[in-house]
Structure 1
Amino acid sequence: MSIENTSAPQIDFNTPAQLRMRKFRALKDKLASGGIAFGGISVIVAIVLIFFYLLYEVMPLFQSAHVEPWQKNDQAVENYAVPGTGKTLYLSMEEQAEIGVRVSDQGEVVFFNTLNGSVIKAEQINVPANVSITTLSTISDPLRQFAIGFSNGDALVIQHDYSSSYPDGNRVITPSLVYPLGKEPIHIGDKPLKLLGISHGEENWNLIGGDETGLTQVKISVEENIMTGEVDISSESEALPNFNIKAHKLLLLPDRRWLMIADKSKLAVVDLKAEDGAQTTQVIEATKGSITDFQMLLGGNAVLIADDLGKISQWFLVRDEATDWKLTKIREFTGGTHPIVNLSIEHRRKGFASLDTQGTLRLFNTTAQRNALTETIVDGMADRLSYAPRSNAMLVEKNGQLSLWAIHNEHPDVSWSALWDKVWYEGYEKPEYIWQSSAANNDFEPKYSLVPLAFGTLKAAFYAMLLGTPLAICGAIYTAYFMVPALRRKVKPFIELMEALPTVILGFLAGLWLAPFMEDKLAGIFVILLVVPIAIVTFGFLWAQVPDRIRFLIPEGWDALLLVPVVILATLFSLFVSDGIESLLFGGDMRLWMSNELDIPFDQRNALVVGIAMGFAVIPTIFSITEDAIFAVPKHLSYGSLALGATPWQTLTRVVLPTASPGIFSALMIGMGRAVGETMIVLMATGNTPIMDMNIFEGMRTLAANIAVEMPESEVGSTHYRILFLAAFVLFMFTFVVNTLAELVRQRLRKKYGSL
């Protein structure tokens, strides 16, 4: 019998249909590869563009100042003769730096065009016959007020004012003189006024004048009848005691309490409101050289002293431990080695300009302790220096000639020390880290320290991770390694769904419900931390003692659901006994007890509230990534470990977790990035107080929340605006560095445990 050999069927892989399928598949692979590559490159490009845009907005903060002759029609404005006659006693400009005002020792007030010196208006001060002007004292540059002292002991207070009109659509600025205390001079003493200091509030004025042999104080009260408009001026005078100092110049601070008297090298501080009458509180050696200029900084809280050694120092009153005020030297600026002859104070910032005998101009900012410019603008010593109100122009007088200079110094109050070091601000007892970007008055000293914001960012992230990390990782371990698949398929999506909850809702609930609830049940919160773990362990022990026929009624792996009512009941019990525990142990108010007995301040919106709310927000992220990493560990590794006699717990800790450690570490870093960049929760639940305290019961302000709060109110292009971009840049770089280091660690862990 023969067997017929039949050949195996032949399959043709090159049919037209197969060829079309392979071409279509290759096309899809190329499109997928190209799309993925394009998406990845787009993300990188977007991140790089964000980086450079932030850098673009931040860089102007650190640009150096520069000065140049004022330009008109692309031509430098030439020097011109000083308008008017006599010696200049006062030189200033109006807001637009278009009109200057000059007061001479002949009593002539001249308003002139700052571009060419042409006289716009001239007025003669009412100087009595046979009387000469002996001194001029600047009261306030921002208020445009000054006072003139006469040889007969009288003084006249003057204010130069400006009004704008628009005839035919063209702006016209009209200057005028105003006399706040009337055109009649005020009598201070019988001796010539070689020294004069004036300060005032809304209705009260203090005038102090005299010479080095004695001073007299005149207090003036101005009352206006709101019905008739009549002004009633009353005054009283008193002779001040001898302060044993040869006075060269006086400064009376705006509070009308403190009088500063400068002689050749010393400075005396007089408390005019001391209980035992006017008295010298201290006499200090202000400089080792000779005082050449003595000016009050914007706000009237600090004074500047320039000397012939080229140094400028800032001083202000500081309250010591004995509650006494002491004039303290805060910082010193080096203005070269040549004597300083002129100081000019900025009208709206804590800055000033100095000019030495060699004609070198230097621009300083006191808060930033920064020298923004050093440049020689005239040859030799100038006679007078005057800032424009907007600090964008400067008038310099030398040998009867005036020159107008353009100043480009947009952000002088920013420096590394102002941003990251402790700064001694006016009114503070010591250097501190402070963020306070705005205030109600124009004399405000901006405080741009980023340290409290960076601290608050890390504090919020720390407490959020402290709460969220153990819950998320432990939950992920149980879900991926111990939970039965049927239950896992229900639990995992439910937890991941929590991530879709908008953070603004979490912040809203945390700020308006959770914060007052925790304040009311503070003792119960701590009881929960004790009772819930004890209840879980106790229930587990009791459940193990239950007969098998009852325990086996619950399907294997589903018994964990029995803990849900246990946790709920334990929590409700803890809150129920909260009031009783507070009454028994803390006198009925745990918050007040902590404040009084432990000196721990308590704010309703604090880090504990933020930790719970932000922990709730980061738990889904950490849980999901960690659970996937543990579940993805090859089963043959755990089966092999169990087969060799290891317990499930040993297998978990020595095989599964090390293998999944790169993924777990990535989950932690992503969760931390989420916590660091969180905005709405910390914005609504922290109180937004930029303080530096690790106290869990006090709030904070984070970088992200600060940007969200203050960016809408900041002026575009201002220092505040650009510092907010700097805060965003710091946040960006922090996230970038942390993620880069995390990736390096993750790769090392992956390499170490990848061979398992």
Structure 2
Amino acid sequence: MRFSDIVSEGVITVGGIGTIVAVCLVALVLVMEVLPLFRSAKVSELSVRKTSWQSGEVVHFEVNEYQTMGWLLTRDGTLQVVRLIPPDAKGTAEKDKAVTSFDVVHEKKLIDDGEISAISTSTGETGLVLGMTDGTIRTADLSFQTQFIDPVEIKDWLRETPAAQLNEPGDTAILKDQVVQMTSQGQYRAQKVQATLTDPVKVADAPIRLLDHLTESTGRGSLGGRSITFVALTEDAQLKLGKVSEKKSLLTGKAKWQSSLFDVPENATGKPPKFVRIDGLGNHAYAIDSQGMLTRLDIRDTKNIHVAENVDLLPGSDATVTACDWILGRETLFVGDSSGNVSGWFPIRLADRTDDAFADRESSDGFALVQAHLFPIGPGAVSTFDASSRSRMFLVGYDTGDCSLYHMTTEKHVADIAMDSPGKVTLAQIAPRDDGLLIEADGQFAHFALSPGAPDITLTSLFFPVWYEGYAEPLNMWQSSSSKIEDELKFSLFPLVSGTFKATFYSMMFGAPIALLAAIYTSEFSTRRTRLLVKPTVEMMASLPSVVLGFVAALVFAPIVEQIIPACLASIFTVPFTILLGAYLWQLLPRWFTLRLQPFRLWFLMPVLMLGIYLAYQLGPTVEGWLFLGNIKFWLVHPDKGSGVGGWLIILLPFSALVMMVIDGYGISTYWRNRIAKMPRLPFTLLSVAKFLGLTLGTLLLAVMLGSLLDLAGWDPRGSYIGEYDQRNSLIVGFVMGFAVIPIIYTIADDALSTVPAHLRSASLGCGATAWQTTLRIVIPTAMSGLFSAMMIGLGRVAGETMIVLMAGGNTPIEDWNIFNGFRTLSTNIAIELPEAVQGSSHYRVLFLSALVLFLLTFLINTVAEVVRLYFRRRAYQL
């Protein structure tokens, strides 16, 4: 016997400690996956070289995705390809710091006649448009072409060229007009620059001073062409708008370019612009002067180009605009000024604003350009700017030789970079993969390796509203994927946390009362035979897989409920009413008859329940006609139609019933016990029925009165607690998931009630208390710790449920509490998106953060539950 005790104690100890260790390890894994989201960016210098060109001579510089080479275009039309230092090559950083100039790979004269006076590029695209001094424009495409070279050919070339070294992964060498790099797999990757240039298109007689363009595809397949919309400012201050279209021959496949120019009203922009820009949809052209006054031109109708809006980009400031360009997507406009201020602007629809913040804005098309993002003041005047081609990061260069890296959406300050020389930064560029920076200042060209961390994630963006492009105000949104890289991803956890609480609330509101009342009935009022039948049946409900319940809810239950919405709402009143009325009418039966039927009274509940459901079905159309204009779906989506009293009646019925219970318990019952309780059975029962009907009528009148007052005050529930009806919504999930959680709450609650000592019940009954009084005042307080534990375990079951919510919850990450709308919880979001998330990405780690938040919420709830349980347990010991 002693040996078995020792073994049992050891097994229990090891199991308990193992459980604690396992939970801690789970938490540790989640934390380790989440920590990289909040690590600071790392910037390390790879090389510093002297430039071989004069300041202002280079009109554009581009680097390849591997940061091994780049090309630059000078004003005289010369294309020069140079080799850079690869960031992952061992030893190259120190070795090449002594190099005084770039290694020229290839040099070619692209333009023989004229000089480049303006250039337009687009972030993430290889095409560019050149404005010439002779008033023409030319389109060009400069891209990096990649191929892999046979190792035998490379080895033969290395033997002939002893100076070239390709011994370790990351080493580079120049082979003809290519840069060859040895990859980590031992392959030899070669890249060269492929350049194409079209014939000039005449725009004006004066040189092109400013230029911006938008490229659109005009077809599909190999014969698909391009259409370029451009806006240009000539040297004589003439603003030009034009389109150049590429037409390919069906027979030869050769391309021909056709151009057309459109008139822009004279003096439409006031002062001569310093920048001209065209948005990503080609609907508007922007002209910005040096003082910050922006004119937005509506160019959708080329025959009627007009001013849509004038905006001051520098309100209340004497500074001048020194940099203005698009970030990825061409919707958010970056603005930098001579005071070091940096801001982001994009248009919003004025009708979507619910406040009067923009009531004084004048706009001909209903849109307004707003300052959505404002960043800290820099150390000097903004001198240059570059946007990432794959994210919302951007690099700002100042005239003090400093640079700052930011993320536009989250307004996160990613990193600061300082050049050795304090000269003006004339070039600042982010590598295509966001893993490098190239900065030119005071004749020095610096190459930096960059590890940005997760610039698109901050604690503020995860849990507080963020102002996203196209939205009228800051919002909490979750949108982790899109069809285009230009789209703005949204990683707000608030809608998911809100959905988790929403699912928990509606499920527990339905399941918890039924489970607890069922446990009280079988433990305190039913016969032993009934209990032996009911309890196993309820416990067997727990064996139903949640995926089956979700399937039935989504494909069977949800369509049926959609057809009988008013009947389902009416059942909230009719089912409890008929059950309670049936209980009162049961007392009208003779005493001897009810005693003989006592073991079978549960079966008499079934026809009463069916009667309540039938009454709800019959009253549904009448209720819909009275309260919801005859069509509840129409009523829900038109707050300006009808009255909101019907919605308030649904919401306020439980509250009104509670008020009537309080009035009955602390007012009417006192008089009732003193005056009515001693009457004979029949008059007492009739008066009890009359009291019940009176309280029921009072409940309805109170709900209608409060709803009418709220409606008269202008507070309509539509758009808040009720709103547009979706087939898969909170009502469906609350019912089905409440059904799923009933067995676990019922079983634990019944066991807790059954463990209450029998002598406590006997003492109470012996003092003259009824069975109901004994249950309420003795049994339930004694078993409160167990009942609370049942509630908390059920709560945890609901909070972590996945399949039912996934299939029946609508799967929409929104944050409203509309019972007729869907939601998405933390657990379902992880189940849906984790298999498709790129490992190590921000999206991937935010999903682990979702799991950590769910873990912490559950841990917090369980901790509070344990504290409360111990409190009730101490109270129970006093009995």
Same fold (TM over 0.5): yes
Aligned with residue 501 of structure 1, among 533, 536, 544 = 544
The 5 Å alignment of 1:339-358 reads: 339-358=381-400
Aligned with residue 253 of structure 2, among 221, 224, 229 = 229
Q: 2:360 aligns to what?
A: none
Q: 2:682 aligns to what?
A: none
Q: 1:302 aligns to what?
A: 332
Q: 2:310 aligns to what?
A: 282
Aligned with residue 563 of structure 1, among 569, 580, 605 = 605
- 2:527 is the alignment partner of 1:484: yes
Q: 2:43 aligns to what?
A: 67
- Over the matched positions of the two proteins, sequence identity in percent amounts to 32
- How far apart are the structure 2 equivalents of 1:614 and 1:455? 17
- How far apart are the structure 2 equivalents of 1:361 and 1:611? 53
Q: 2:136 aligns to what?
A: 154
Given that 2:379 and 2:402 are in contact with CA atoms closer than 8 Å, whether structure 1 keeps it comes out as no
Q: 1:121 aligns to what?
A: 106
Q: 2:294 aligns to what?
A: 268
CA distances 1:451-501 after superposition (whole Å, capped 9, x unpaired): 111001000100001101111111111111111122112211211121121
Q: 1:3 aligns to what?
A: none
CA distances 1:622-673 after superposition (whole Å, capped 9, x unpaired): 1111111111111111111111222222221111111111111111111111
SS in 1 for 2:208: coil
Q: 1:22 aligns to what?
A: none
Which amino acid counterpart does residue 204 of structure 2 have in structure 1?
G
Q: 1:638 aligns to what?
A: 761
Aligned with residue 293 of structure 1, among 312, 323, 339 = 323
Cα–Cα, structure 1 residues 399 and 108, in superposed 2: closer, same or farther, change >3 Å?
A: farther
Q: 2:26 aligns to what?
A: 50
Which amino acid counterpart does residue 307 of structure 1 have in structure 2?
D
Q: 2:125 aligns to what?
A: 143
Cα–Cα, structure 1 residues 221 and 148, in superposed 2: closer, same or farther, change >3 Å?
A: closer
CA distances 1:180-236 after superposition (whole Å, capped 9, x unpaired): xx2x11111111111112122213322222136221222223233445424343222
- How far apart are the structure 2 equivalents of 1:401 and 1:533? 82
Cα–Cα, structure 1 residues 576 and 80, in superposed 2: closer, same or farther, change >3 Å?
A: same
Cα–Cα, structure 1 residues 396 and 573, in superposed 2: closer, same or farther, change >3 Å?
A: same
Q: 1:701 aligns to what?
A: 824
Aligned with residue 175 of structure 1, among 173, 193, 198 = 193
Q: 1:754 aligns to what?
A: 877
Aligned with residue 198 of structure 1, among 213, 221, 234 = 213
Which amino acid counterpart does residue 259 of structure 1 have in structure 2?
A
Given that 1:335 and 1:354 are in contact with CA atoms closer than 8 Å, whether structure 2 keeps it comes out as no
- 2:282 is the alignment partner of 1:256: yes
Cα–Cα, structure 1 residues 85 and 376, in superposed 2: closer, same or farther, change >3 Å?
A: closer
SS in 1 for 2:10: helix
- 2:349 is the alignment partner of 1:319: yes
Given that 2:566 and 2:621 are in contact with CA atoms closer than 8 Å, whether structure 1 keeps it comes out as yes
- How far apart are the structure 2 equivalents of 1:695 and 1:533? 23
SS in 1 for 2:760: helix
Which amino acid counterpart does residue 30 of structure 1 have in structure 2?
I
Q: 1:691 aligns to what?
A: 814
Cα–Cα, structure 1 residues 280 and 640, in superposed 2: closer, same or farther, change >3 Å?
A: closer
Deviation for aligned residue 1:82: 4.0
Q: 1:111 aligns to what?
A: 81
Which amino acid counterpart does residue 205 of structure 1 have in structure 2?
I
Given that 1:299 and 1:443 are in contact with CA atoms closer than 8 Å, whether structure 2 keeps it comes out as yes
CA distances 1:70-125 after superposition (whole Å, capped 9, x unpaired): 3xxxxxx4525447998211111122222211111221111221127322222212
Q: 1:15 aligns to what?
A: none
Given that 1:482 and 1:557 are in contact with CA atoms closer than 8 Å, whether structure 2 keeps it comes out as no
Which amino acid counterpart does residue 753 of structure 1 have in structure 2?
A
Cα–Cα, structure 1 residues 651 and 548, in superposed 2: closer, same or farther, change >3 Å?
A: closer
Q: 1:186 aligns to what?
A: 201
Q: 1:739 aligns to what?
A: 862
Which amino acid counterpart does residue 325 of structure 1 have in structure 2?
F
Which amino acid counterpart does residue 247 of structure 2 have in structure 1?
E
Aligned with residue 133 of structure 1, among 89, 107, 116 = 116
Q: Which moved more, 1:503-512 or 1:266-275?
A: 266-275
Q: Which moved more, 1:439-448 or 1:160-169?
A: 160-169
Q: 2:177 aligns to what?
A: none
Q: Which moved more, 1:262-271 or 1:48-57?
A: 262-271
Q: 1:73 aligns to what?
A: none
SS in 1 for 2:606: helix
SS in 2 for 1:383: strand
Aligned with residue 564 of structure 2, among 521, 541, 546 = 521
CA distances 1:7-42 after superposition (whole Å, capped 9, x unpaired): xxxxxxxxxxxxxxxxxx111111101111111111
Q: Which moved more, 1:41-50 or 1:217-226?
A: 217-226
- How far apart are the structure 1 equivalents of 2:308 and 2:575? 67
- How far apart are the structure 1 equivalents of 2:401 and 2:54? 24
Deviation for aligned residue 1:400: 3.7
Provide the TM-score with structure 1 as the length reference: 0.91
Q: 2:231 aligns to what?
A: 208
- 2:388 is the alignment partner of 1:388: no
Given that 2:215 and 2:228 are in contact with CA atoms closer than 8 Å, whether structure 1 keeps it comes out as yes
- How far apart are the structure 2 equivalents of 1:318 and 1:438? 22
- How far apart are the structure 1 equivalents of 2:250 and 2:9? 82
- How far apart are the structure 1 equivalents of 2:459 and 2:850? 13
- How far apart are the structure 2 equivalents of 1:195 and 1:294? 12
Cα–Cα, structure 1 residues 85 and 398, in superposed 2: closer, same or farther, change >3 Å?
A: closer
Given that 1:150 and 1:192 are in contact with CA atoms closer than 8 Å, whether structure 2 keeps it comes out as yes
Deviation for aligned residue 1:427: 0.7
- 2:638 is the alignment partner of 1:612: no
Q: 1:651 aligns to what?
A: 774
Cα–Cα, structure 1 residues 195 and 659, in superposed 2: closer, same or farther, change >3 Å?
A: same
SS in 1 for 2:120: strand
Given that 1:78 and 1:403 are in contact with CA atoms closer than 8 Å, whether structure 2 keeps it comes out as yes
Segments of 5+ residues of structure 2 without an aligned counterpart are 86-95, 97-101, 151-186, 219-226, 352-362, 645-717
SS in 2 for 1:537: helix
Aligned with residue 418 of structure 2, among 370, 373, 376 = 376
Given that 1:293 and 1:305 are in contact with CA atoms closer than 8 Å, whether structure 2 keeps it comes out as yes
Q: 1:247 aligns to what?
A: 273
Q: 1:91 aligns to what?
A: 61
SS in 1 for 2:124: coil
Q: 1:219 aligns to what?
A: 243
Q: 2:516 aligns to what?
A: 473
Which amino acid counterpart does residue 371 of structure 1 have in structure 2?
H
Given that 2:392 and 2:407 are in contact with CA atoms closer than 8 Å, whether structure 1 keeps it comes out as yes
Given that 2:493 and 2:850 are in contact with CA atoms closer than 8 Å, whether structure 1 keeps it comes out as yes
- How far apart are the structure 2 equivalents of 1:144 and 1:335? 32
CA distances 1:259-297 after superposition (whole Å, capped 9, x unpaired): 222222213232232664232521414262122211211
Deviation for aligned residue 1:144: 2.1
Segments of 5+ residues of structure 1 without an aligned counterpart are 1-24, 71-76
Aligned with residue 725 of structure 1, among 848, 854, 872 = 848
Aligned with residue 485 of structure 2, among 422, 426, 442 = 442
Q: 2:358 aligns to what?
A: none
